[in-house]
């Protein structure tokens, strides 16, 4: 070792300390649909609910929370992986306050989409309203932490945005005389991307700098879509193609915004490829069933149709990729979270 290197060695602890401060994610802030809703729909009048058993049967304490799952969501595991609480509270849940939300908050609403018309279908919280709740939260955070500290929290938090599936499956391909008759599917994708762009610019204005946008999964392979697929039981390839194209457009948008918005890091999480891999080789991942959900017959039930009285609900949800006809099991969510932590989110660790 040359004597010259000594002063540098002395500086190392200082650098490490600085790195620790700037790298820390103080909170996870979530927007989206049922893929990430931790219970907001319990507090609004909608039928898009899951706060009853057997939902939550593998959750901490076996409690149904409004998560569309037997246990935790990917975002809960991500929060835990960042050293934050193991569950992210829903903003509308009155048992939590700003002290909790300062370490993680979820504005998502099951059944929602980028398009206002999508959230209208099941009277859930539209994305613009999720954004309003977020702005209300920013105000409360400033009152709680003080202006400077709150700005820092907002800047260093990880924002996760996960939605889009419902825009196609609950709205475009389902509502007669709706978006499907107004737009070609390419035009509709562009319309949604425009909304996503406006949304990302808004949260950037409010201070967001670390952002994850999660793509759509191969939605044609959801159990519910398989039963209604033209190829009965197989994945609906049209829906998968639409999801894939939408995801490509989303990636272009992210690239553009990363180049344009100073100091932002927006990453794209590719759940499409991961799901496809799991669905094609379920045994490799320890799953025995990748085509139907654990709850009830597993073919069409979700929400109120998946309840304590539903016959045929499976014993061990860990053997299934899907919990109900539309939503992954906790175990699959854990795999998604692990993969995101190892890839796209690693940059924020």
Positions 62 through 91 that interact with ligand NAG (CB under 6 A): none
Tell me the three state secondary structure of residue 202: helix
CB of 11 to ligand NAG, least distance (A): 30
Which listed residue (60, 342, 347, 349) binds ligand NAG by CB under 6 A?
Answer: 342
Question: Count residues contacting ligand NAG (CB under 6 A)?
Answer: 7
Residue with smaller CB distance to ligand NAG, 128 or 244: 128
125 secondary structure, DSSP code: -
CB of 162 to ligand NAG, least distance (A): 18
State phi, psi for 51 to the nearest 5 degrees. Answer: -95, 50
Which listed residue (98, 175, 195, 299) binds ligand NAG by CB under 6 A?
Answer: 195
Interaction of residue 120 with ligand NAG, rule CB under 6 A: no
Tell me the three state secondary structure of residue 292: strand
User: Which residue among the candidates 109, 157, 327, 334 is catalytic per the annotation?
Assistant: 327
Which listed residue (120, 276, 338, 344) binds ligand NAG by CB under 6 A?
Answer: 338
170 secondary structure, DSSP code: I
Alpha helices in the chain (DSSP H): 6-23, 74-81, 98-101, 116-121, 127-145, 147-156, 165-166, 179-182, 185-205, 223-227, 237-260, 271-280, 330-342
User: Which residue among the candidates 212, 269, 324, 334 is catalytic per the annotation?
Assistant: 324
Which listed residue (96, 128, 133, 285) binds ligand NAG by CB under 6 A?
Answer: 128
Check if 324 is active-site: yes
Angle between helices 330-342 and 271-280 (to 10 degrees): 130
27 contacts 102 by C-beta, under 8 angstroms: yes
CB of 342 to ligand NAG, least distance (A): 4
Q: What's the rounded Cα separation, in Å, for the pair 228 and 31?
A: 29
CB of 83 to ligand NAG, least distance (A): 15
Check if 34 is active-site: yes
90 secondary structure, DSSP code: B
Which listed residue (63, 116, 228, 280) binds ligand NAG by CB under 6 A?
Answer: 116
Q: What's the rounded Cα separation, in Å, for the pair 210 and 158?
A: 5
Check if 167 is active-site: no
293 contacts 325 by C-beta, under 8 angstroms: yes
CB of 336 to ligand NAG, least distance (A): 8
Residue with smaller CB distance to ligand NAG, 171 or 339: 339
CB of 125 to ligand NAG, least distance (A): 12
Query: What residues pair up with 160 in beta bridges, in sequence order?
Result: 30, 212
Site string for ligand NAG, 202-241 (x = CB under 6 A): ----------------------------------------
State phi, psi for 150 to the nearest 5 degrees. Answer: -65, -40
83 secondary structure, DSSP code: T
Interaction of residue 339 with ligand NAG, rule CB under 6 A: yes
Window contacting ligand NAG (CB under 6 A); options: 35-43, 76-84, 320-328, 337-345: 337-345
Q: What's the rounded Cα separation, in Å, for the pair 198 and 164?
A: 15
Footprint of ligand NAG on this chain (CB under 6 A)? 116, 128, 195, 335, 338-339, 342
Catalytic residue annotation: 34, 324, 327
């Amino acid at each position: 070792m040359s004597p010259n290197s000594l002063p540098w060695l002395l500086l190392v602890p200082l650098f490490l300390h600085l790195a620790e401060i700037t790298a820390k994610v103080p909170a996870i802030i979530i927007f989206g649909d049922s893929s990430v809703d931790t219970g907001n729909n319990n507090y609004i009048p909608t039928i898009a609910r899951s706060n009853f058993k057997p939902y939550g049967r593998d959750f901490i304490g076996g409690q149904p929370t409004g998560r569309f799952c037997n246990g935790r969501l990917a975002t809960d595991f991500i929060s835990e992986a960042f050293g934050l609480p193991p569950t992210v509270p829903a903003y509308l849940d009155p048992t939590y306050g700003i002290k909790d939300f300062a370490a993680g908050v979820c504005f998502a609403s099951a059944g929602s989409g980028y398009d206002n018309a999508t959230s209208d279908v099941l009277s859930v919280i539209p994305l613009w309203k999720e954004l309003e709740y977020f702005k209300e939260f920013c105000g409360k955070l400033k009152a709680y932490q003080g202006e400077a500290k709150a700005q820092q929290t907002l800047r260093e938090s990880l924002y996760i945005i996960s939605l889009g599936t419902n825009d196609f499956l609950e709205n475009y391909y389902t509502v007669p005389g709706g978006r499907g008759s107004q737009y070609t599917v390419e035009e509709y994708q562009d319309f949604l991307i425009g909304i996503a762009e406006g949304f990302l610019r808004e949260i950037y204005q409010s201070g967001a700098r670390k952002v994850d946008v999660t793509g759509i999964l191969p939605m044609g392979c959801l159990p519910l879509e398989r039963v209604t697929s033209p190829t009965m039981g197989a994945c609906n390839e049209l829906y998968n193609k639409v999801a894939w194209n939408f995801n490509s457009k989303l990636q272009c948008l992210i690239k553009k915004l990363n180049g344009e918005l100073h100091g932002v890091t927006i990453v794209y999480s590719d759940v499409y490829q991961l799901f496809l891999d799991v669905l094609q080789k379920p045994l490799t991942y320890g799953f025995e069933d990748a085509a139907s959900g654990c709850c009830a017959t597993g073919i069409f039930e979700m929400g109120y149709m998946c309840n304590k009285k539903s016959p045929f609900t499976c014993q061990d949800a860990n053997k299934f990729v899907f919990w109900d006809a539309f939503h992954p099991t906790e175990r699959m969510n854990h795999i998604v979270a692990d993969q995101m932590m190892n890839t796209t989110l690693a940059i924020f660790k």
